[in-house]
Amino acid sequence: MSRQTNLNQSVVFLDAGVSDYQSLQAGVIPEVATVILSANQDGIEQISAFLPLLKP
């Protein structure tokens, strides 16, 4: 799982298994954190691991 370091309240989760997910990622505004979910791992577990990193 890779992520941008700017932690915001808005997050976009993209599945790396989606064809051409990079095009979707390119359309995300810079103020929004983007998390690329590994196609080889459980997506819910990856999201659950990321959410505690958000600022309250």
User: Taking residues 28-49, what's their average pLDDT?
Assistant: 95
User: Taking residues 24-28, what's their average pLDDT?
Assistant: 97
Residue that has been written with the tokens 């990856």 in this structure: 46
> How confident is the prediction for the chain on average, in pLDDT?
88
User: Taking residues 32-41, what's their average pLDDT?
Assistant: 95
- What percent helix, strand, coil does the chain show, rounded to 5? 30, 20, 50
Domain locations in the chain as residue ranges: 2-53
Total residues belonging to the chain? 56
| Confidence check: pLDDT of 19 > 90 | yes
Coil vs helix vs strand at 49 = helix
